[in-house]
Amino acid sequence: MKNKTIVITGTTSGVGYELSKLLYKNNTLIAIARESEKLKSFADEYKEVFIYKADLSRLEDIKAVAQKLLKDFSSIDILINNAGVQYPETFLDPSFCYENIHNEITTNLTSICSLSYLLLPLLLHEHKAIILNVNSGLALAPKTTSAIYCATKGGLNIFTQALRYQLEKTNISVQQVFLQLVDTKMTQGRGNNKMSPQLVAKKIIYGMDHNILDHDLGKVKFLRILLRVFPSLAKRIMKRY
């Protein structure tokens, strides 16, 4: 993974941050993230990274950042759609925020569909290119909480497969990685035996290097087998997750 022009969304923390650490030295790295103190710190730490500010829950921001990239670059080799948000409240919780439905769907699914389309002119060229969508084991079987998040990940799974069919005769490999619970700020206080974001980042890069189209990490491998052999048991386990 050298001498590539790589776009990563959600680079200021978690898996996106660890991917940036591993990739920026030997590649041209383009980071898309919301305006925040984290982004300022990231820009100070990685001065050679091209920073583009965008709130991916806003359609106008998504279109604007894509237009800037089309103007500033002649091509890109890899688009890593990593940014995501999760709100754990159920519809019955008094703290449930109606506006978060739009924010979660737009960030987790609409922005990925949009960037994959809008940046296609930069990805279509004579060399191999990759669109990598960072997904979750919840795309295979939902849990009780975070219903919108689970729905966006299920939709992302289907979108990735369909886009792969559309682009199979082009230079673009459409891949996705299914993560088990990762030890990030978003998952604080939830679950045990989490994967570290550093390990996840290394495995994601391995998957891209080896063209693994549907890359299951950690417990997702077991979940996929269980869904095939004992689907009702798998769903009961995930319901309590």
Residue 240: other Cβ atoms inside 10 A: 7
Residue 72 neighbours by CB under 8 Å, 6+ apart: 50
What ranges in 85-166 are assigned the alpha helix state H?
99-105, 111-118, 120-123, 147-166
Instruction: Check residue 36 and give its pLDDT.
Output: 84
Q: Is 21 helix (H, G, I), strand (E, B) or coil?
A: helix
Provide the strand spans (E) within the chain: 5-9, 28-33, 50-53, 78-81, 129-136, 172-179, 214-216
Instruction: Check residue 186 and give its pLDDT.
Output: 63
In whole angstroms, what is the distance from residue 110 CA to residue 140 CA? 19
Q: With a threshold of 0.85, does the pTM exceed it? A: yes
Under a CB-based contact definition with an 8 Å cutoff, are residues 62 and 111 in contact? yes
- Taking the chain (241 residues) in runs of 10, the rounded mean pLDDT of each run is 95 92 94 88 89 96 98 98 95 96 98 98 97 97 95 98 98 97 68 84 97 96 95 90 71
Single-letter amino acid code for the residue at 27: N
Q: Kindly state which CATH superfamily the domain 5-240 is placed in.
A: NAD(P)-binding Rossmann-like Domain (3.40.50.720)
Instruction: Check residue 239 and give its pLDDT.
Output: 85
